[in-house]
Amino acid sequence: MTTAKKTTTRRKTAPRKPVPAACPDCEGKGEIAETVQVGGRKKRATDDRQAALCTTCWGSGEAATD
């Protein structure tokens, strides 16, 4: 006596969450490069750059939805 084959059903996958848009200022990195300023009162700009937190997305890299 042979047993009947059971057919398998395909599982439904959960819907995927939409990917948030990247921040236009930092291109989704969360950091931007700021010019280093030196000096006592005048704060002259130099050619050097330092990493700074993106103030548009506050470091998340995602564009604002407002």
pTM to 2 decimals? 0.51
pLDDT of residue 66: 64
In total, the chain counts a number of residues equal to: 66
Which residues in 5-39 are b (16+ Cβ under 10 Å) and which e?
A: eeeeeeeeeeeeeeeeeebeebebebebeeeeeee
pLDDT of residue 48: 84
- Residue 60 CA, chain-centre distance (Å), reads 5
pLDDT at position 3 over 80: no
Residues 16-38 have pLDDT tens digits of 888 888 888 888 888 888 888 88
Contact 33, 48 (CB under 8 A): no
**Average pLDDT along the chain:** 83
